[in-house]
Every structure is written in C-alpha cells, then in structure tokens.
Amino acid sequence: MLVTVLVLLVTLCALGGTAEERQEAQRPGHVSVVILGGTGDLAKKYLWQGFFQLYASQASSANTFSFYGGGLSPADSAKPVFFEILKAVSCPKDLSQERCAVLKEQFLRLSQYRQLKTLEDYQGLAKHVEQQLQEEGMTEAGRLFYLSVPAFAYADIAEKINSSCRPAGGAWLRVVLEKPFGHDLPSAQALAAQLGTALKDEEMYRIDHYLGKQVVSRILPFRKENKDSLDPIWNKHHIERIEIVLKETLDVKGRIPFYDQYGVIRDVLQNHLTEVLMLLTMTPPVNVSSIQEVQQNKLEIFSSLLPLGKNQAVIGQYQAYKAEVQKELNKTQDHVSLTPTFAAVLAHVADARYEGVPILLTSGKMLDERVGYARILFKNDIFCLQSQDSVHCKPKQIVFHFGHGSLQYPAILVSKNLFKPVQTDAGWKEVTEHANVSVLGLPLSDYYVQTPKVQREAYAELISHIFAGCKNNFISTENLLASWSLWTPLLSSLKGSFPRVYPGGADNGGMLDVQLKGNEISFNSKVVIISPDQVGRSSTDGFQVMQGKFRSAEMVSAWAEELVERLAADLQEAAEAAVRKEGVFHLALSGGSTPIALFHRLVLHHFSFPWRDTHVWMVDERCVPLTEAESNFHSLHDHLLQHVRIPYYNIHPMPVQLNQRLCVEEDGGALLYEKELGKLTNGSSFHFVLLGVGYDGHTASLFPGSKVKELRQSMVALTESPIKPHQRMSLTFNAINQAHRVALMVMGKGKHELITQLSRVKDDPEKWPVTGVKPTHGTLIWYIDYDALIG
Ligand SMILES: *[C@@H]1O[C@H](CO)[C@@H](O)[C@H](O)[C@H]1NC(C)=O
Ligand SMILES: *[C@@H]1O[C@H](CO)[C@@H](O)[C@H](O)[C@H]1NC(C)=O
Ligand SMILES: *[C@@H]1O[C@H](CO)[C@@H](O)[C@H](O)[C@H]1NC(C)=O
Ligand SMILES: *[C@@H]1O[C@H](CO)[C@@H](O)[C@H](O)[C@H]1NC(C)=O
Ligand SMILES: *[C@@H]1O[C@H](CO)[C@@H](O)[C@H](O)[C@H]1NC(C)=O
C-alpha cells in the first residue's frame, strides 16, 4: 500500500517542476520542516496531518527529517499544546495500524517546539540544524518554512529567514505562504516587493488550497486527455455558460475582526474561484510539466478578461452578520457594516474562443448547502416535441464537482449526451454504481462519473508538491498581481454599496437568484408589494415591501435594499408625472448618510430618470464652504450630481457663503434662496421633498427647541444645531408643507427606538420637529426599513 502513495507522489511530480527542481528535490538528504504558527488552527487542523502523511510516504526513501513547531510563546507553555496536536494526527487510509503506530512514534521523536520570535531565536534554530547535520554526518537536502501566521508578519519573518536560516551548499530553501496576500493591488504589490528583498521568487510557495483539491488539479489533464472531444465544443458557439460556485452553510461568527475587513470577494473570489476560472479557460499547455508555459497561458487569460465594474456584481449579507459585527467589534447599535458575505460576479473573457460566454463566479456564507463545483453548460439546440425524458433533450454539461453537496465525493461528471471521457490516470476510477442522487438537474445515471480512488486532503496534496518542488499548483507573483488588477477596481466601485440582506439557510429561497443580461448581472427577484391588510403578519416571512400607516400617514416598509429601490421608483414616477404635466420637476434633497444609498440607486438603475428637466434644491445646508466634505451639497455632488446628466443651471446649492463669510444674517442668504425658489417654482411648491429624521426627532435643520413659530412667514431660515457645525440654513415647515409630496426616510436599527417613540407622541413640533411635517395639500409618505421598524 505504501507503494501506491509513492507512485502517486511521482505522478504528481511529473506534472510540475523544472528539471533542475526535480533533480534538486530528489537529492536525498536531511530535510528540516518548520511550521511557524505551529500550534495555530490551520496547523492543528491540516498542516501537521499533511506533514505526517509526507513523512509516512517518505519513510522508506533516503531522506531524513526533523520537524519544528515555531511560535511566539515560550517553549514551556507551548510544548504540551504542541504535542497534543501531534498526537492527534491520524493514520493515512492506505497504511496498516501497526506500521502507522511505528511511524507516528518516530514522527513525534523527530519533532520539537521552538520559540521563534527574535532574530536570536532564528539564529539558534539555524545553529541547532547545523549541529545536528554535523553530529550525524548527514548532507542537507533542504529547509521548508511554512508561514501559518497573519500576513503582516510575513516580511519580518522572511527577513529573519534570509539573514540567518539559509542553508549552505546547494540545499534548497522553500518558504510557504498562506493568503491573504494583500487586500488590493497596491498592498499586494507592496507585500510582494518586501518579500522579494528577502526571498527569491522560486523559493516562495503561495498556497491556494483550492489548487490542491483533487478535482481542481485534474481540470487541465482532463482537458488535455479529452482534447479530441472537447476541441470542437469548448468555445463560444457551444458553451452556454460557465458557473464556478462555492456555497457554504457556516457563518463567520468569531472571525469578524478578520472577515469584516475582507469579505467574500477577497476571501474566496479573488483567489479560489479565479484560479478555477483560469484552469477552465486557459489554453492547455502543450507540456503540462512546463511551469513557464502554464503560467504564461494563465496570464494570457488574465489579460483577455473584461474589466469588472459595479454592474458585473451583486452582493449580499446574511441578516445576523450586523449584530455579530456590533458584538465582536464593540460597535454601537447604529453601526452598519457593508462587508458582503455573498457575491455573484459576471466575468467575460474577450478573446476569439470565449467572447460573449457568461462566466458566473459566486460564493456565500449561510447558504442552503455546502458544495463547490464548476459547471460548463453547453447549448442544446435540440427541440424535443414529445420525448422530453430522452437523453438528447436533457442539459448537456460537464461538472467538476470539488466536494460535498448531494454527491458527497469529489468527481468529474460528463452528461451522457456529450461524450464518454477517456480515463488514463491510475489514481482515478470510473463510478458505475449510481446512487439515487441528482447533480445540477440530472440524475447521476445520466452522467459518466470519474472519481479519485483515494480521497486526499488538499493540504496533504500541496505539501507533497512543495516537498517535490512542483510549483505548478502555487500562485506566482505575476499571477497574484494580475488577479488583484482584475478585482481591485470592482472592490473600489462597490465601496458604499448596500448588500442585500438575506435571512440565511433554506429561508433564502429565491432571494439570491441572479439574472444575467448581456454584460450585466442583477438579482432576479423583484420587489413584491403586499396589500395593506397583510401588514399585521409576522416580519420573518416577508423579505418584501409592505404598506401600512404610520402616524396616520402612508408608510412603506421593507428591508433596506428593497426600500431604497421602492423609493427610487416612486421618485422617478413623480418626476415623470411632473415633467409630463408641467415640463419640470422640482426636487429638494436632504443631506446626511441615509439618502446616499438612494442616490447610488438613482445613478445606477434609473437611466431613464428625467434629469434634464429636474431642478435639484437643498432641504438644508451646514454653514461651511461647499467645497468641504461636511457640506451637504458636497456630498450630494459626490454621490449623485456628478454621475448624472443634469444641466448646471438646474442645480441650486444654498448660498451659505456670501461676501466671503458664512451664514451672516445681514448677507440675506436665506432670503436670496427664497427668492430664487419663488422665481423658478410655481407658488414656491416643490414637487418632491426628501427628508430624514435625526435621533432627537429633528428634520431638515429644524431642531428641538427651535422657535418654529417665529419662522412662520419665511420659506428659508438660518437655524442652530446642537451639534457641530452649529449654524445651518434650512427650509422651514412653510416650504416643506407646500410640497406636492414629502418622503420621510428612516433606516437602520439605531432608529428603532426613535420610531417607537414617534409612533406614540402627539404632534409637537417644538419637541419633535418631524411631527410638524404636515403637507397642506400634498401627501406625506414614510419610508421606514425593517431594521428601524422592527429593531
Ligand atoms: C538576503 O540577504 C542578503 C544579505 O544577508 C542580501 O544580500 C540578499 O539580497 C537578500 N535577499 C535574497 C533574495 O537573497
Ligand atoms: C516539458 O517541460 C519540462 C520542464 O520544463 C522539460 O523538462 C521537458 O523536456 C518538456 N517536455 C517536452 C516533451 O518538451
Ligand atoms: C470591547 O469592549 C470591552 C469593554 O469595554 C473591552 O474589554 C474589550 O477589550 C473590547 N473589545 C474589542 C475587540 O475592542
Ligand atoms: C430516489 O429518491 C427519491 C427522493 O429522494 C425518491 O422519491 C425515489 O423513490 C428514489 N428512487 C429510487 C429508485 O430509489
Ligand atoms: C401652479 O399651481 C397651481 C396650484 O397648485 C395650479 O393650479 C397650476 O396649474 C400650476 N401652474 C402650472 C403652470 O403648472
């Protein structure tokens, strides 16, 4: 049985590594393995297991080993933990119990914990290795450092290794790194440059454990072996769509401090799914052993990928995430994290072969099942009039099933209406016993199924590659930077976007289904309007929009994203109606952070909004220069005005700065705005006024205790805010209440207390200014999201 493992290792090696590397790898001698972070989670779960399997597979070779667990803790305290971890490694399936027990005892004897913190610690380790080599008269084969530590420590450790732990006399040095390799292009470049001063490129092994998955590493060989069948159909004329999917059922509780800074795109799409995309679309190398050719062909695909923008992605966040963030990051109730835990991205390779083929990459936490796969769905041009169950009517597809899901095991599946794949790899077998399961719409019996004879853990697989010096399944610097170049613009464009909130698990239903249209992707589910008599129903069954009453005015409520969509749609409808009737639409907008999501929605999804005939006015303004970030106009400009085609002379900022000073009564700024309003609007009436509400019940810049009655005659006034900047200019109730339509937008859990209070208090504009909003002829609608309404 041991022989099988050795054979496997040799076949793996045949797939990668240059001739020199293989020769080097085969030079027998002593190998020192150092795992930094040797008592951490990853080491405990996978690494020591992987190295034990490596040791077992090499037991009858000419190599000898020592293993070091390195960490920051002193040896006294870490040692017991370390040996507990080592004792827990399990026997490879292909090894007898007796043999395994012997090997395990040897493995424990060859292992020790060392504190590796200071430069002296590293020098001490080097000295220890050299002494051992000398005493036992061994030649050195190489040193392997596995950095299972946070990425910020990489550069420092790499320098220490370079300055004190390089082996002498032609032995190899290999340093293994785990993601994240930066969080965007500039940080990845900086990290690569830092590492480059201490380590040579060929010494670095950047792990993407997905590349160690057996099915993933079979993609290229499969494509080559089945070239004759695939060549005619592996192109835009025959491929309907490519899907690369990693669904998880777990949440990220306990890992928020890390996860909240990364999110699903950086955590999964930028690396794992992108690598699978490369393997599926790159030109298979003529010589799979040539690392240069493999890397070159990958880079070619990167350069053909169309850039990813906001319209190529949809994002989501599971409902409980917000509370987890507040708890783990010590944030208050109104803290909102925009980090996505779900993303679906539509990519396109713009070359002659794949042009126009949609490539969907998607992953998320808290989904209905755990599964990973890539599916190539082919077009089926057969029209079945009657015998719809016959094989030629069914989907034509190839599924690279990485694991889990209904199938449970890794496999490559080819639907029987395509072709029968050849099977040459001695480590794989054909499955002929078809369990009663179906995979992506087809019963297993409708597929040719291939599966590995022995299932191996991705880490064990990659560790054997590192030992063999096969670099094909690792991420080169160029590859890494190319990937970040692809993802960084998308990540920047998503900044500030609200993810769709989903309940998690089976309850997600169709909420995260997406629609691919040309070059754009969107959520498939449309907003559903429930009639007012259903308002009393429990909130959990409706991820929808409901309508009801609040403070005896109309209310629309939904989860944030749907609410914003609904408000944007209502706004557009009002604009179109006004333009039809009067040729113009006068809109007054508030500042603050709540409307920003609305602005983004208007920019991105309402291309037909009549901006040309719209006049934009301000509800209120802070007495700061318009060029400052605090200015409401500044924010409105950044988030909305600069992105839409609105004529300059239709934009009406409040004149807070006159005679080179801010909001001085004698300068008459408020009166000036009032006059402009009177001149351009019909009877000073806005068609639409958008308002928010502050925690203290203020609206516009009308604060509790302000003498609203004294403002009775004017439309625009200078007011005082209890918070900085204190001076404001604001529309008065006169102006607001003359509007045709007033929308009051309230969002976020932090506003729940306020909403509860507002539902009870009587009209009292001195104490609760928002209760003074009472359009005399027009309508008032509250837009309240579920977080604010339900808490
Ligand atoms: C390693 O350190 C030496 C000096 O000790 C330096 O000359 C060299 O450039 C460093 N980097 C590499 C990749 O060897
Ligand atoms: C394939 O590439 C390897 C590594 O570069 C090389 O040693 C080998 O000769 C190549 N084989 C062929 C058939 O070109
Ligand atoms: C959260 O706050 C508590 C109490 O103020 C403090 O003990 C704890 O260290 C904080 N945690 C973080 C992650 O800041
Ligand atoms: C296969 O499974 C389905 C549902 O799990 C069941 O309804 C059906 O009877 C099963 N068929 C056979 C042949 O066992
Ligand atoms: C101006 O407003 C009045 C009263 O609301 C209305 O009757 C009239 O039609 C409006 N004029 C125009 C030109 O729209």
Assign 23 a pLDDT band (cuts: 50, 70, 90).
very low
The tens digit of pLDDT for each residue in 203-225 reads: 999 999 999 999 999 999 999 99
Nearest residue (CA) to ligand 1, atom 11:
198
Assign 708 a pLDDT band (cuts: 50, 70, 90).
low
- Does the pLDDT value for residue 15 go beyond 60? no
Rounded percentage of the chain residues whose pLDDT exceeds 90: 70
Query: For the chain, what is the mean pLDDT?
Result: 89
Neighbours of 102 (CB within 10 A): 12
Question: Looking at 272, 348, 586, 615, which residue is catalytic?
Answer: 272
Mean pLDDT of 321-343: 90
What DSSP state is assigned to residue 365?
S
- Does the pLDDT value for residue 499 go beyond 90? no
Domains 2-178 and 548-790 share a fold: yes
Read off the pTM. Answer: 0.69
Give yes or no for residue 196 CB within 6 A of ligand 1: no
Task: Write down the domain spans for the chain.
Answer: 2-178, 212-501, 548-790
CATH number of 2-178: 3.40.50.720
The torsion angle over the Cα atoms of residues 673, 677, 680 and 685, rounded to 10 degrees, is: 170
Question: 93 CA distance to ligand 2 centroid (A)?
Answer: 33
272 carries an active-site annotation: yes
Cα–Cα distance, 152 to 177 (Å, whole number): 12
Ligand 2 site-directed mutation target among 290, 292, 293, 472, most atoms within 8 Å of CB: 290
Question: 607 CA distance to ligand 5 centroid (A)?
Answer: 28
Pick the CATH number of 548-790 from 1.10.3720.10, 3.90.400.10, 3.40.50.1360, 3.40.50.2300: 3.40.50.1360
Give yes or no for residue 296 CB within 6 A of ligand 2: no
Nearest residue (CA) to ligand 2, atom 13:
287
Give yes or no for residue 201 CB within 6 A of ligand 1: no
Opening angle at CA 73, ends 71 and 78, nearest 5: 85
- Rounded alpha-carbon distances, angstroms, from residue 281 to 291, 347, 466: 17, 12, 25
Which atom of ligand 1 is least distant from the CA of 198?
11
Residue 8, pLDDT score: 39
Give yes or no for residue 286 CB within 6 A of ligand 2: no
C-alpha closest to that of 551 among 724, 758, 384, 398: 758
Give yes or no for residue 289 CB within 6 A of ligand 2: yes
Which atom of ligand 5 is least distant from the CA of 682?
1
Residue 544, pLDDT score: 65
For residue 486, what are the contacts with CB-CB under 8 A and spacing of at least 6?
Answer: 274, 302, 305, 307, 308
Residue 392, pLDDT score: 85
Q: Which architecture characterizes domain 212-501 according to CATH?
A: 2-Layer Sandwich (3.30)
The tens digit of pLDDT for each residue in 594-648 reads: 899 999 889 887 888 999 999 999 999 999 999 998 999 999 999 999 889 999 9
Residue 791, pLDDT score: 73
- Does the pLDDT value for residue 154 go beyond 60? yes
Nearest residue (CA) to ligand 5, atom 14:
582
| Most confident range, picked from 89-98, 354-363, 708-717 | 354-363
Residue 538, pLDDT score: 38
Residue 26, pLDDT score: 61
Which atom of ligand 2 is least distant from the CA of 287?
1
Q: Show the 3-state SS of 117-136.
A: CCHHHHHHHHHHHHHHHHHC
Quick one: which ligand is closest to 327's CA? 3
- Does the pLDDT value for residue 528 go beyond 60? no
Give yes or no for residue 580 CB within 6 A of ligand 5: no
Nearest residue (CA) to ligand 5, atom 10:
682
Question: 32 CA distance to ligand 2 centroid (A)?
Answer: 29
